[in-house]
Structure 1
Amino acid sequence: MSTRAARRLARIGAALVSRRRAARLAFTAGNHVRLFSSGTDYFAALIAQVDAAKESVVLETYIFCDDDAGRPVSDALIRAARRGVRVRVMTDGLGTARLALFDEWRAAGIEHRIYNAGWLGFGLLGRFGLSRTHRKLALVDEHVAFCGGINIVDDFASPGGRLARARWDFAVELTGPVVPRVSAALDTQWRRLELGHRPYAASMSRARELRAQATSTGASAPSHSSPNASEHALKAPSVAFIARDNFVNRRAIEKAYLVAIGRARHEILLANPYFVPGRKLRRALVAAARRGVDVRLLIGRKEFLALDRAVPYLYRTFLGAGAKISEYEKTVLHGKVAVVDSNWATVGSSNLDALSLVLNNEANVVLIEHAEIGRLREAILAAFAEARPIDPARYAARPWPERLTSWLAYAAYRAVMKLLTVGGYD
């Protein structure tokens, strides 16, 4: 091999290593976390922080509605911009319709960019292919961050009419060493939306800088997502932020789940509205149930008919391993949350389906040994108690037309998702 070729190979290897290191899950101690279990509380906290902002506000969301929830948030953003705060908003080209609010933002000096606005006026296909930004993030004065599954939309709003009960969803407010990582993700996304700009070299440099900074201050815990804090000497409550994209952190959120599930000893509580995980996650959950872990899956229903038909096809595998499944129908289950062994939890935007795990931009927070884990666990258990349990005997005795419909729906879903993700979904 020539010297030139060897040097080129070394550069490629170094780049790959630096990417892997930057993508690893890094925990930091010394953070304050506040859990919100409704949009009402979350919006009030977000508006209060925006009204107190002195320098900057950044918001990224899949859906921003001009309704009873979105209008007050928009008004707060406009107030901030008019008093000299730099306000940047990112919305998704498919999730958020063209709103009159956009003109009001522009007039007030708010900078607004649309992710994958689409060609020829269509929001489905754009610069980034079929990818969407499904993240729900906010950052105020580089000091307070928000992350979760709550869109900027009324808790009771639904395409089919007003909900009888508020949507079941969660978000967290963060302060402390984890905030710069949220800032880095938002900055990368903002640069990404600048046509022709390539933000990745700067983003990787920022990620390495953050890791070195955390290591030098002793604030960073080991880069694992273990549900057993003592196993990795995580003596203080620790927090990690994960931003999934299609460039650097392709499988970051899935890997966090896999490590936690693989190390579970007692209990796995998992709630998700679109539960169609790939083979690795399915096998991990089955293996946990078979080794005696109490695995409980809370599944959302009555939002997409195709998923209502397809998802039950997977129940056989989990029920056969001893897992418990309940379908939540009291309202729209939109939360994407999990608790493992009462000392590991995640809250975020990522569903456990092909779109979230392989295609879309997502963001989750992982908590270890944090006080808010207990509150989240109680909320999941309460919802599980209100949901309709799937009886293994009745499930096995389903009439053949129902079983055939379920199989066909799942097969169709899998085929479409493999096509959309170019074979990434398994």
Structure 2
Amino acid sequence: MSARGARRLARLGAALVSKRRAWRLAFTAGNEVRLFSSGADYFATLIRHIDDAQLSVTLETYIFCDDEAGRPVSDALVRAARRGVQVRVITDGLGTGRLALFDEWVAAGVEHRIYNAGWLGVFGRFGLSRTHRKLALVDARVAFCGGINIVDDFAATNGPLAHPRWDFAVGLTGPVVERIGAALDTQWRRLALGHRPYTQAVSRALTLRERASSTGAAAPSRHSGHASEQALKAPSVAFIARDNFVNRRAIEKAYLVAIGRARHEILLANPYFVPGRKLRRALVAAARRGVEVRLLIGRNEFAALDHAVPHLYRLFLTAGAKIAEYEKTMLHGKVAVVDSNWATVGSSNLDALSLVLNNEANVVLIEHPEIDPLREAILDAFAQARAIDPAIYAARPWGKRLTNWLAYAAYRAVMKVLTVGAYD
């Protein structure tokens, strides 16, 4: 082989190694974590920190409602801007409609940018992707991440809920906050391009910046990388920001690693449970090797998914997994606990849109005290949910089976188109 060919091969090998490492989590110790299990508690704490802010506030959310929950948050943002704090808000072009609050923000000095505000709020500069993230950062000191939108706990499309929605977020202080701040800053800079050409050079610069900030690839430590997660003993936290520029499969891979290492128990709760082939196989393999797998599925939000998701039950039930459908209220939490020492809280559903198309953000906890209350919350909800009996499921009438299959096949077909074949 020529010297030139050897150099090309070396560069290719380095690129492949870099690509493989890019998604790996950068765990840090010394973080404080507080678990929120309702919007009411979360909003009260968020408002308190915004009112105490001295330098900056950044908030990114899919939904911001002008309701009993959203108005007080908006008022706090306005108060902060008027006293000289830099306030930046990112909302999604589809998730949040045109609000009168926007004018109030501009008048008060709140900087507001809309993600993918395109034709009918659907197709914009970033194609069909949405920002589904729920993040907040105050004074680069305290951050929040989870599944809770800025919306009242009892709000629903079909009228008020009888019970507050089942959802979670975490408040964070410590080294992990820097990662969240860098991800928010990258998003803000990306949206700052406005109508200017989104050139390849700018895209590459932002990609490199995000890779360094949200994966830790540019700042490795003893808590960084795939292998180090297994060796972690002290409570540690990692932040994952999924997008379509880098870390495209980061959240899915974090789940796959945890499920693959599970030895005793996997508790998984998700409202839109339509995982791809790799996640399905990982869960089935875990159940078959004796791990207790419990899947808590949300219902009664989208009729199409209510018909499609049960088509997958046979696969998991025959492997020995337990499934329950939660109908007490809207299950909106996207959480999981593995072996009582690994957990994730975030915005990512386990479906094609979240895992392949949308901007998402999750936090992973290792050996952290807040894992126990999250585990108990999942187990409590599972006990209140309707368990799927394998015998009754197997005896479904043929019409029901056909409906489930058709709904699932239609879902897969649509997602294949929307994700340009990336959903498997």
Question: What TM-score comes out, normalization by structure 2 length?
Answer: 0.94
* C-alpha distance in 2 between matches for 1:323 and 1:204: 40
Alignment partner, residue 110 of structure 1: 110
**Does the Cα contact within 8 Å between 2:340 and 2:372 map onto a contact in 1?**
yes
Is 1:67–1:153's contact at 8 Å kept on the other side of the alignment? yes
Q: Which amino acid aligns with 1:48?
A: R
Aligned length: 417
The alpha-carbon deviation at position 206 of structure 1 amounts to: 6.4
Deviates more, 1:233-242 or 1:376-385: 233-242
Structure 1 moving runs of 4+ over 4 Å: 1-20, 212-215
CA contact (8 A) 2:25 2:216 kept: no
| Post-superposition CA distance 1:93-135 (Å, at most 9, x none) | 000010000000000001100001013xx11111111000000
Q: Assess if the C-alpha contact under 8 Å between 1:188 and 1:199 holds in 2.
A: no
Q: Deviations over 1:296-330 (max 9, x none)?
A: 00000000000000000000000000000000000
Q: What's the offset of the Cα at 1:223?
A: 1.9
| Equivalent position of 1:201 in the other structure | 205
Aligned to 2:356: 358
**What is the DSSP-based 3-state SS (H/G/I as helix, E as strand, rest coil) of the residue aligned with 1:35?**
strand
1:135 to 114, 133, 155: 133
1:47-196 equivalences under 5 Å are 47-119=47-119, 122-194=120-192, 195=194, 196=197
Q: Shift in Å at residue 381 of structure 1?
A: 0.2
After superposition, what is the alpha-carbon deviation per residue over 1:236-274, rounded to whole angstroms, capped at 9, x for unaligned?
A: 101000000011110000000000001100000000000
Q: CA separation of 1:282/1:225 partners in 2, compared to 1, >3 Å: closer, same or farther?
A: farther
For the residue of structure 1 that corresponds to 2:335, the secondary structure is strand
CA distance in 2, matches of 1:177, 1:213: 15
Aligned 8 A contact 1:184 1:203 in 2: no
Cα offset for 1:156?
0.2
Gaps of 5+ in 2: none
SS in structure 2 at match of 1:183: helix
Aligned AA for 1:252? A
Question: Secondary structure at 2:226's aligned position in 1?
Answer: coil
Looking at structure 2, the residues matched to 248 and 142 of structure 1 have their Cα atoms a distance apart, in angstroms, of 23
Instruction: Specify whether residues 253 and 213 from structure 1 end up closer, same or farther in structure 2 by C-alpha distance, changes over 3 A only.
Output: closer
Change (3 A) 1:54 1:19: farther
| Structure 1 residue 281, shift from structure 2 partner | 0.3
Note closer, same or farther for the CA distance 1:88–1:288 as it changes in structure 2 (3 Å cut): same
1:271 alignment counterpart? 269
For the Cα contact (< 8 Å) 1:146–1:174, is it kept in 2?
yes
Select which of 223, 227, 230 maps to 1:221.
223
Report sequence identity in percent: 80
- Unpaired runs of 5+ residues, structure 1, are none
1:144-172 deviation per Cα after TM superposition (whole angstroms, max 9, x unaligned): 11000000000000110010000000000
Distance in 1 of aligned mates of 2:74 and 2:22: 34
Give the 5 Å matches for 1:397-416. Answer: 397-416=395-414
CA spacing shift, 1:269–1:206, aligned 2, 3 Å: closer
| Structure 2 residue matching 1:243: 3-state secondary structure | strand
Q: Could you tell me how far apart the structure 1 residues matched to 2:80 and 2:386 are?
A: 45
Instruction: Give 3-state SS (helix, strand or coil) of 1:193's partner.
Output: helix
* SS in structure 2 of the partner of residue 133 of structure 1: coil
Q: Give the 3-state SS of the residue equivalent to 2:58 in structure 1.
A: strand
Q: Secondary structure at the residue paired with 1:23?
A: coil
Mapped partners of 2:127, 2:5: distance in 1: 33
Supply the distance in 1 between the matched residues of 2:72 and 2:42 (Cα, whole angstroms): 12
